[in-house]
Structure 1
């Protein structure tokens, strides 16, 4: 499916699920729903969430009560939010809202429960969804990526590797990527950028199918983690 087709499909789903009173108002939908096809670095795919409660709050201009599990620390928190709208970022749906008059975004698939409140929404004057989204997006896009990583990946698993790390590439991979070395035509050279060495340690999930060539400190960190894993499983089953 092309990017244009994906955008059209997402918009059709949103329009079909709108409250009946708002369904004919395409202009309102344009102010409440945005599609951004670009994927964030390290972004992951998400299961299709149930957006009905979010849509009701967004299109009826009411506040939203949300119980939400955060991705980083897994803690569950409760919020009262003032929604601006919904954004589909490369297939992942986000609710864009103010929390205590400060902009915030919430992945829809991490919502544990959501309830539309009787109170009218309290958006900041003069701001639209596009304005708030631009502020939040730039805050994430502008985080520096200080760690440059060079690696090699087995040609047979390149597609699977890119599904996970496409957004971490320093530059796009060509349709016919070059081998890592003349001696290893079965492996592809990959140049990547990560926010930290810890973030780059995710490469270990590919085992020997992906090898870090540089920097040396990342190779050492991955070697330690691999050795710890071997030790853990070599000691036998836990009691």
Structure 2
């Protein structure tokens, strides 16, 4: 515990310059007397630091002294290499910068932590996109990201699912989100804050107009609220079904016995549920709503007639 605190104290002085004993005590959550003892221990270990009394006093490292310590624990070093997303960085035009940063980090790490970091890269690989479908083409991502960094508005030419399918809109980029291998732009425009799929952006024209984020805007909080609203809009109805043990497992329902399990499951629409439930074949029976049951029954009759005729 004390060794970790000494490293933290050293890094605080290295990164912030002069600090008083009271400031250090508040940062480390210890008493001022403990800070005095820790400073003496660092001095005895050969760390070139000195203290000065008075209003402008405090502790500081001798000018020019830099430690190679990063302050990273084993778990922190593992996490730093585990969260690196080379694919996403490359799409943002930061692939070379990421490679250089990881190389610098690896070089700065003590031997033990360097070994853990190398094991992470040897044994773990993050491949975010799903299995089916090719990766989205996002030729305008770097331009959008540049406007985001500079806090400048852009004019988007965008393709959407409803008419008119192609629109032009001036927006202020608030953030980019990578979810399941797909990029989304969160931006403010004439209709308020909206979410745009970056692969559906047909063109971007940067504007010479700066903007400021609204007070209190938090990208993560906004995105979580957006997802919650999306799920609420997505599942607007329920279906009553009977499931075999295999069907229950496929649908994520906890079986109530070794036989059939009756359950209510949320559905987006009759059309969507029709397609999804057909994938379960004979492992599901739809009891309600009647429209969905009749649709699936009609499809089953059509398939039976087709294969009987073959």
TM-score, normalisation: structure 2: 0.46
Q: Which has the larger share of helix?
A: 2
- Structure 2: where are the runs of 5+ without partners? 1-79, 102-127, 305-310
Q: Match for residue 161 of structure 2?
A: 71
CA contact (8 A) 2:91 2:142 kept: no
Instruction: Provide the rounded CA distance (Å) in 2 between the counterparts of 1:228 and 1:122.
Output: 59
1:126 paired residue among 194, 206, 216:
216
- Say whether 1:148 aligns with 2:239: yes
Offset of residue 66 of structure 1? 1.4
Q: CA deviation at 1:180?
A: 8.8
Deviations along 1:115-174, one digit per CA (max 9) or x if unpaired, are 222222353233132243233223213335421353669x7xx9xxx7xxxxxx454x8x
Asked if the contact 2:239/2:286 (under 8 Å) is kept, the reply is no
Distance 1:121 1:110 in 2: 24
Q: 1:216 to 1:194 in 2, by over 3 A?
A: closer
Q: Corresponding residue for 1:49? A: 137
- Write the deviation string for residues 189-233 of structure 1: whole angstroms up to 9, x where unpaired: 997421232331233774958755332521212345677999xxx
Distance in 2 between residues matched to 1:69 and 1:205, nearest whole Å: 31
- Relative to structure 1, the CA distance from residue 89 to residue 229 in structure 2 (aligned partners, 3 Å threshold; closer, same or farther) is same
Query: How far is the alpha carbon of 1:81 from its aligned partner?
Result: 0.9
Q: Quick one: distance in 2 between partners of 1:125 and 1:71?
A: 32
Tell me the alpha carbon deviations over residues 85-142 of structure 1, each in whole angstroms, 9 at most, x when there is no partner: 1111222211111112711101112222222222223532331322432332232133
8 Å Cα contact 2:86-2:95 kept in structure 1: no
Q: Following the alignment from structure 1 to structure 2, what is the Cα–Cα distance between the partners of residues 205 and 78?
A: 39
2:89 aligned with 1:13: yes
Of structures 1 and 2, the one scoring higher in RCO (CA 8 A, sep 6+) is: 1
Q: How many residues align?
A: 192
SS at structure 2 position matched to 1:142? helix
CA spacing shift, 1:53–1:89, aligned 2, 3 Å: same
RMSD value, Cα: 4.7
Gaps of 5+ in 1: 26-36, 163-168, 183-188, 231-239
The residue aligned with 1:196 is 269
Change in Cα spacing, 1:221 to 1:139, as seen in structure 2 (3 Å) is same
The equivalent position to 1:106 in structure 2, one of 170, 190, 196, is 196
Higher-Rg member (1/2): 2
Give the Cα–Cα distance (whole angstroms) in 2 for the partners of residues 178 and 46 of structure 1. 39
